[in-house]
Amino acid sequence: MDQRPVRDRTGRGVRALARRLLGRVEGDSPTPRRSNPDAVVDCAVYVNGRREPGQQHYADAYARARHGRDAFVWLGLHDPGPAVLAAVGQTFGLDELTVEQALADGHRPTVQRHGPVTLLVLRTAGYVEHDELTDTSEVIDTGDVMVLLADRFAITVRHGAAGALRSVRADIERRPALLAAGPWAVAYAVCARMVDSYLEVAGHVERDLERVEEAVFARDRTADIQHIYQLKREVVEFKRAVLPLQAPMRTLLDPDGPPRALHRWFVDVDGRLSRAVDRVAAYDDLLTSIVQSRLAQLAVEQNNDMRKIAAWAAIAATQTGIAGIYGMNFDHMPELAWRYGYAGALTLMAAAALFLYRLFRRSGWL
């Protein structure tokens, strides 16, 4: 009996939010975040783990799921705009804070509960193919996906190009026994795919690291320090997507989390996430060591250059000293009236230069 007033208040709050958001878009505010006018990727009703045939509007699908037994609706959105999310929030009874969080991107992985709705945020990651690593190469593309869960619906909101969920839906639809567990089965499928993508990206990054390591320790040392720094930045971005998911995943293993039937599946995801975390942390440490090694190499190369410069400066200073002495305009100087004085001075200069060159060459300065 009390549900209708609460729903009406929620609807008014979401409509007010939509008016504010649309006003910011149409006003003199900064350029709005990207949005997708056709944000609805797919919407379906599932009964006992099997998809109902036909295409329905999400409002009709939700009404069907609410009146059906063992039924729920899965709505998939990609880069929705404020108007779309406001309408979705009004239909599914989402509060204003939940709609605001789903509209923005760039969240850290987390699990939050807003009344009967659970919000699960994960970071997406995709490897960007490139012929060679430069100081501006984009190696890893990241985004986020939010999963809103309740008794009768699962809403996935994806921001960014990485982490497409069409294949996730297709895979879990072939497992009706698992999908029969309800909306939390959708959360498991999304978590499993995100962790699998982390491991896949980690494999590609490992090959980039091997090439960089070979270039740094090769004889010709062709690795540019800027290229290493760029890869380091990309790995740090990847690390920020993977490591913070550990705490939310532990939360999902609590007794108050997903249904008991899905517990072992989330345990499996947590194990794979641990492997991904270990690999990313190892890559970050390895890149730090590579950067330090390259900086040490640069310091050695600079020291060698300074020694060469100092050696040639010493040879030039010897010639300058001899020429300066014999260039003095004194009346009484040794060998001043000697017939072979000029040739003797040149010979002395050449002999001094040759002696110093051989000395520096033997010591490794030249």
Q: What is the pLDDT of residues 63-81, one digit of tens each?
A: 998 887 889 999 999 988 8
- pLDDT digits 0-9 by tens, 316-349: 888 888 777 777 766 666 666 677 777 777 888 8
Mean pLDDT of the region 267-271: 92
- Identify the pLDDT of residue 364: 78
Task: Give the pLDDT of residue 269.
Answer: 92
Model confidence at 245: pLDDT above 80: yes
What local confidence, expressed as pLDDT, does residue 108 receive? 87
Asked which of 27-36, 185-194, 294-303 is least confident by mean pLDDT, the reply is 27-36
pLDDT at residue 29 tops 50: no
Predicted confidence (pLDDT) per residue in 356-365, tens digit: 888 888 887 7
- Confidence band, pLDDT 50/70/90 cuts, at residue 189: very high
CA distances from 332 to 169, 240, 329 (A): 103, 81, 9
Structure confidence at residue 156 (pLDDT): 93
* Residue from 69, 66, 72 nearest 154 by CA: 72
pLDDT of 329 reads 67
- What's the rounded mean pLDDT across residues 20-31? 38
